[in-house]
Structure 1
Amino acid sequence: MANWSDPRTDGVGFAPRGAADARAADYDAGLRSYMLSVYNYMASGVLLTGIVALAFAWGGANSPAAAVFLSGGILKYVIIFAPLAFILALNFGIQKMSTGTLQMLFWAFAGVMGLSMSTIFLVYTGPSIAITFFATAAAFLSLSLYGYTTKRDLSGFGTFLIMGVVGLLVASLLNLWFQSPMMTLVISAVGVLVFAGLTAYDTQRIKSMYSYVAGTDMMGKAVIMGALSLYLDFVNMFNFLLSFLGSRD
């Protein structure tokens, strides 16, 4: 006679495992969609920055970029410091702003960054900029993939890397006074290493954030702020690498 109370013969006994597998599959699908949205925003922001920078510097010495940055007027400093204002607004206004407002600020920030970065086309040759861009893209993809797939907890590096960013800012400000070529190279080398580490760290942090925002109103905001973090990692790593790989006109 069959033992109907035996859980090994009870078909219902398989339901919890099947439900867990389904939940895990849904979670993985949601995570992939979330990360894809982050990367799409980040890549679109970089593309917009590049287009704006190239258009603003088109014409070389006769370009709008040359007119603004060589004139020494107040507009030059507005363009230089405007990206910082956008970053502060995005970080401190995330709770009060709607997702749509954050999206508009992100695109505006990427555009203003393009204006600010247009000077690289006045200083470096086009081929060296392209080579540096593709080198940065390859490094970014590798580091971000590592941050996404590694089982190692990278959170311990976060404080160290943020301190590195602060140190870079202080050293860069000091070098405006000393104008030391050797110090410039050291800052660039440290900058590449710091933002390489931040790329992996931020990717893992953004990935772990999904479990907190999934299915909530914060989902869209988390995507934009995650894209902003990776955008900044990419752009800063590119700028520091350009000091090594860029050929001046």
Structure 2
Amino acid sequence: MQTIDKVKSAGLAKFTSLVYLYTGLGIALWTISVQAIANNQALSMVIFQGMAQHRIISMILMIGIPFAFISICSRLATKSYFLTFLSYVGFIVTLSVIGVPIFYMYSARSIVQTLTVTAGAFVVSAVIGFVTKKDLTTWSRTLFTGLIAIIVVEVINGLIFHSTPLLMLTSAAVIILFLFYIAFDSQNIKRIYQNYSDSESLGAIALVASVSLVLDFVNLFMSIIQIFGDSN
């Protein structure tokens, strides 16, 4: 019995390490991709003009496409590692386009400082979520409701009010929400491993698990820099 428990613990530790490795690589790829696009002025202007001329469509795409890639990754995970990886890269590229205005508007110093702060907050929240004995699945409905409410407020503010104080308020709410989401998704790694521990596609499953964590990090970063960043 002890031998079985040791094997399970070793398997979970390996799977968790793989998830966070993919998460770190995903965040690094996102950062590099956003900076590369932001440094290309012609491409950046095309993105800005598209967002300005088709604001409603842009908002729908910015919300819908990342979630579509998450769904695709989940569907492909047990079928093909390669296709799951391609979907993962597509997800990162989509997030990169969304992040271009942030990297274009804020100074390099602010970006580096905010990335550092976000990484620290991410690690703390992830550790708390992973080691806590409390079952965080009870948070699922509350977190999702909070996410929908914030999206609705941001869309309304972007289309109608254009209020900076409201933008700051929603950014603060997003910071709090995604700190909880990081803890939730970190604990969820254990549940994912329990469900797929016998699968031959653990590498692809780890990619899927890391997608949510990358999304959590990016949302946390973008909200922190909107409040505390040194805008150009």
Q: Which amino acid aligns with 1:166?
A: I
Q: What is the rounded CA distance, in whole Å, between the counterparts of 2:139 and 2:66 in structure 1? A: 26
Find the counterpart in structure 1 of residue 220 from structure 2: 237
5+ unaligned residues in a row in structure 2: which ranges? none
SS in 1 for 2:75: coil
Residues 73 and 208 in structure 2, CA contact (< 8 A), matched pair in contact too: no
SS in 2 for 1:94: helix
Q: What is the rounded CA distance, in whole Å, between the counterparts of 1:106 and 1:246 in structure 2? A: 29
Q: Which amino acid aligns with 2:84?
A: L
2:181 to 192, 198, 208: 198
Residues 195 and 237 in structure 1, CA contact (< 8 A), matched pair in contact too: yes
**Offset at residue 159 of structure 1 (A):** 1.0
Residues 128 and 183 in structure 2, CA contact (< 8 A), matched pair in contact too: yes
The reply to whether residue 64 of structure 1 matches residue 46 of structure 2 is: no
Residues 79 and 112 in structure 1, CA contact (< 8 A), matched pair in contact too: no
SS in 2 for 1:215: coil
Q: Which amino acid aligns with 1:68?
A: I
Residues 175 and 223 in structure 2, CA contact (< 8 A), matched pair in contact too: yes
Moved more, 65-74 or 144-153: 65-74
Q: Deviations over 1:224-247 (max 9, x none)?
A: 211011011111011111111111
SS in 1 for 2:133: coil
**Offset at residue 91 of structure 1 (A):** 1.0
**Offset at residue 157 of structure 1 (A):** 1.2
1:95 to 62, 75, 78: 75
Q: What is the rounded CA distance, in whole Å, between the counterparts of 2:18 and 2:59 in structure 1? A: 28
1:211 to 177, 194, 200: 194
Find the counterpart in structure 1 of residue 127 from structure 2: 145
SS in 2 for 1:119: helix
Give the direction of change, closer, same or farther, for the CA distance of 1:90–1:154 in structure 2 (3 Å limit).
closer
Find the counterpart in structure 2 of residue 37 from structure 1: 18
Find the counterpart in structure 1 of residue 107 from structure 2: 125
Return the structure number with greater helix share.
2
Q: Which amino acid aligns with 1:85?
A: I
- The alignment's TM-score, normalised by the length of structure 1, stands at 0.83
**Offset at residue 219 of structure 1 (A):** 2.6
Q: State percent identity of aligned pairs.
A: 24
The reply to whether residue 160 of structure 1 matches residue 142 of structure 2 is: yes
The reply to whether residue 224 of structure 1 matches residue 207 of structure 2 is: yes
Residues 69 and 88 in structure 2, CA contact (< 8 A), matched pair in contact too: no
Q: Deviations over 1:178-220 (max 9, x none)?
A: 1111211110111100000000011111222211110214533
Q: What is the rounded CA distance, in whole Å, between the counterparts of 1:148 and 1:129 in structure 2? A: 28
Give the direction of change, closer, same or farther, for the CA distance of 1:114–1:79 in structure 2 (3 Å limit).
farther
Residues 19 and 207 in structure 2, CA contact (< 8 A), matched pair in contact too: yes
**Offset at residue 70 of structure 1 (A):** 4.0
Q: Larger C-alpha radius of gyration, 1 or 2?
A: 1
Residues 125 and 182 in structure 2, CA contact (< 8 A), matched pair in contact too: yes
Q: What is the rounded CA distance, in whole Å, between the counterparts of 2:87 and 2:73 in structure 1? A: 10
**Offset at residue 79 of structure 1 (A):** 10
**Offset at residue 92 of structure 1 (A):** 5.0
Q: What is the rounded CA distance, in whole Å, between the counterparts of 2:87 and 2:123 in structure 1? A: 25
Residues 41 and 227 in structure 1, CA contact (< 8 A), matched pair in contact too: yes
Find the counterpart in structure 2 of residue 11 from structure 1: none
Find the counterpart in structure 1 of residue 89 from structure 2: 107
Q: What is the rounded CA distance, in whole Å, between the counterparts of 2:173 and 2:59 in structure 1? A: 26
Give the direction of change, closer, same or farther, for the CA distance of 1:141–1:21 in structure 2 (3 Å limit).
same
Find the counterpart in structure 2 of residue 6 from structure 1: none
Q: What is the rounded CA distance, in whole Å, between the counterparts of 2:115 and 2:199 in structure 1? A: 36
**Offset at residue 67 of structure 1 (A):** 4.5
